[in-house]
Each structure stands twice: as C-alpha cells, then as structure tokens.
Amino acid sequence: MKRGVLERFKEYLPVTDNTPMFSLGEGDTPLVKSRYIGGEVGCEELYFKLEGCNPTGSFKDRGMVVAVAKAIEEGGTRLVCASTGNTSASAAAYGAYCGIPTTVFVPNENVAGGKLAQAITYGASILRIKGNFDAAFRLVVELTKKHPLVLVNSLNPYRLEGQKTAAFEIIEELESAPDYVFIPVGNAGNISAYWMGFKQAHQMEWTSSMPKMMGFEAEGAAAIVKGAPIEEPETIASGIRVGNPANWDKALVARDESGGAIDSVTDDEIMEAYELMARREGIFCEPASAASVAGLLKLSRNGLHLNGGKAVCIITGTGLKDPDIAYSLEPVAMDEYPAKLSAVEKALDLA
Ligand code: F0G
C-alpha cells in the first residue's frame, strides 16, 4: 500500500504528534523516461514526472494533504480556495475525505469541464465569480482575513511543504538531482516548492548538486516575464491563466538561486507540445502541463544544449481534466460502420 505524503515524508514535513495522518494515495508518482522528445533536444536522459497520477489528477494533492491535516490539527472547520480548477478539485476531495465543508471560488469562465465536475461530485460549495482567477483569489484572501476560514491556496505554507516532496522523489529515483527542471508557472507556488525541496535535500546531503529551475508562463499570462501584473490574462492553458502570481517573489528566488530562468511559451507552442506528448510519448497531459515541455523545446531551438545532462519536465496534471482541448485538435476520421466483419475489413483495407 502506498504510504502517502504525510507518512512517507513525516520527518521532513511540519508533522507533529497531533497531526492526523491520512492519505488518498498521493505522491510516489512515476518518473518516465522520454522515448522521443529527449532525442529531439539532444538529451539522453529526459524524464517526465507524472503528477497527473495523483488521486485527483494533479500535483495539488501533495500540498493539499498537508494543508488539510494541519488545518484539522489547528482546529480549522472550513476550507476555502480560489482556483483555475485543480486546486478546487483537490481541496474538495480532501475536504470530503476528512468531512470538512469546502468552498471553492472559480472564475465564471475558462474552468476545464473535468475539474469542475470533480468539485461538484466531491460535494464542495462552488461560487462562480464574475471575473478571472486573480479576482477570485483577491476575494478569498480578503475573506480569510476577516473570517475563521482555512485558506488552502499556495499562500498556505503547508501547501508548498507538501509539494516539495516531488523534488525528494526525483532525487531518490535518479540518485542525484537532475541538471534542469522544466516546470509550468501559474500562481508560482510549485516552482517555489520544488526549489525548497531541492535546497532541503542538498542540505541533508541527499544530493551534491541542484538543478536549474526553468519556469514557463503562458505568453498571454506572463506577468513575471514581463515584470508587471496582467489585468486580463489569456491562454488556452486555463490552469495557468494567472495574471498576478501570489508567489512571485519566491519564484524569482528559485530562478536566481538556481541559475535558471523564467520564460514564456505561446499557445501554439503549448499545443505542439501537448500533441507531441500524447502522440510520441504516450502521455496525455493538460495544456498547462505541456508548457514545461514547450519551454524545453523552445530553449533547445534557441540553442540550449543539454548534452550529457539530465532533465525532468514536470507534467502537473492529466489531460482527462480538459477533454474539450483534445476535441479541438485537427479532427481525426471517426466514421460509423455496421457491426459486420466485411465492413470493417474493407475499412481497414483487409478485404
Ligand atoms: N499546472 C497545472 C495543471 C495547474 O493547475 C497549475 C496551477 C500549474 C501548473 C501552475 O502551478 O500555480 O503553483 O505555479 N493551478 C492553480 C489552480 C492556479 O488553481 O489549480 P503554480
């Protein structure tokens, strides 16, 4: 049985004797070796960390389990978050498991169908805010300052504590830190959490080196790259449609301390990577996750050499979250046939 993030990493998390220990099976996600893209970018050791294999289909579960456990320990009785979809799905699941009422604030547009379906089915209260993620986020922050509600967005430090464990798993599996980590950036919590994890692992001498953190925003939502908040962020990658990242400062620290970069990728580049991941790697990810691979492809085309190095792309969420994007690809033939051998033989040129 999987131990889960709390039990497996308790010595390295703010877990006390009073922290309830539970798990929905988060963590221990696969690190899959690339079959195609690695060769294209001249990197023999390129891996994908499949965070879509977490219980609600995204990396958020690693942080949510810690945030919810600490909320219970500290007497919290109600969870709230703003979300582009994945945080709300995760909060709703862990809230349901622990019997804590959960309220999620989502933008009234651009939330992927699968993510909303999760929040509905897990039984969260859902407030659709007339505005984008940033407006919903400002609102919950204001609300939690005034009322005794537990904020489970990545401003909650326990979220980052939990999410850092993915860095531990990567080091464990590769037996050292990779040279590069490519990661999508939205509210900028995850890049900050990974850097925290790599630094802690380095201090504990689990690795003698640390990776360069390479973060990628979507071009229409690239506040950090442009150096100013974006009022109306736009991108097909709804998961990272964030105009004013809450963890902006921490992401800059991750970039600068690691000697990495934060750059942007266009929607076309994201869709190219999305399709390549599915068709050449067998990995169905959501567009926000494809931003990491799009970033790798972009930097490689611009002359970044990964020869001899190890790189990991963080695949933050599963493609099943957002099937509408899949349907928007170049249509494939899906004709109907009678349920007859001769008919299908003819269709397959086997007659
Ligand atoms: N990938 C996916 C699939 C996401 O859902 C998110 C963020 C990110 C990457 C970026 O991570 O915010 O830590 O920089 N989703 C948030 C949400 C905003 O509400 O679910 P980040």
Reported as a single tens digit per residue, the pLDDT across 170-193 is 999 999 999 999 999 999 999 999
Does 85 sit in the ligand 1 pocket, CB within 6 Å?
yes
Distance in angstroms (rounded) separating the CA atoms of residues 110 and 106: 9
Mean of the per-residue pLDDT values of the chain? 97
Q: Could you give the C-alpha distances from 114 to 76, 161, 271, in angstroms and in order? A: 28, 27, 19
C-alpha distances (whole Å) from 162 to each of 7, 8, 114, 118 are: 11, 11, 24, 21
307: confidence class by pLDDT, cuts 50, 70, 90 = confident
Let me know: does 140 contact 81? Beta carbons within 8 Å. yes
Pairing of strands 180-184, 102-107: unpaired
* Residue 59 alpha carbon to ligand 1 centre in Å: 8
- The answer, yes or no, to whether any atom of ligand 1 lies below 6 A from the CB of 132, is no
Over residues 287-306, the mean pLDDT reads 97
Helical ranges in the chain per DSSP H:
4-8, 37-40, 60-73, 86-98, 113-122, 133-146, 157-163, 165-174, 189-203, 223-226, 248-258, 267-281, 287-301, 323-327, 341-347
Per-residue pLDDT band at 351 (split at 50, 70, 90):
confident
pLDDT tens digits for range 69-90: 999 999 999 999 999 999 999 9
Is residue 214 within 6 Å of ligand 1 at its C-beta?
no
Distance of CA 286 from the midpoint of ligand 1 (Å): 11
As a residue count, the chain comes to: 351
Contact status, residue 37 vs residue 279, Cβ threshold 8 Å: no
Which phi-psi region, left, alpha or beta, contains residue 259 (left: φ > 0; alpha: ψ -120 to 50)? left
- Cross-strand bridge partners of residue 317: 58
**Ligand 1 centroid, distance to 347 Cα (angstroms):** 43
Task: Please give the structure tokens belonging to residue 59.
Answer: 């990396």
What are the pLDDT digits (tens) for 135-161? 999 999 999 999 999 999 999 999 999
Owner of token pair 């005034």: 146
Measure CA 75 to chain center.
Answer: 28
- 46 C-beta neighbours (distance < 10 Å), count: 28
pTM exceeds 0.85: yes
Q: Which of 145, 155, 158, 225 is nearest to 15 (CA)?
A: 158
Backbone angles phi, psi at 243, to 5 degrees: -100, -15
Q: For ligand 1, is residue 295 a contact (CB within 6 Å)?
A: no
Is 155 exposed, middle or buried (CB count within 10 Å of its CB: 0-12, 13-18, 19+)? Answer: middle
User: 195, 161 in Cβ contact below 8 A?
Assistant: no
Distance from first CA to last CA of the chain, Å, rounded?
A: 49
**Is the minimum distance from the CB of 63 to ligand 1 under 6 angstroms?**
no
Number of Cβ atoms within 10 Å of the Cβ of 157: 14
* Distance in Å, CA 173 to ligand 1 centroid: 24
pLDDT tens digits along 201-235? 999 999 999 999 999 999 999 999 999 999 999 99
Burial (0-12, 13-18, 19+ Cβ within 10 Å), 328: exposed
Rounded mean pLDDT of 322-327?
94
Q: Identify the DSSP state of 331.
A: P
- Residue 113, both tokens: 């169908």
pLDDT score recorded for residue 200: 98
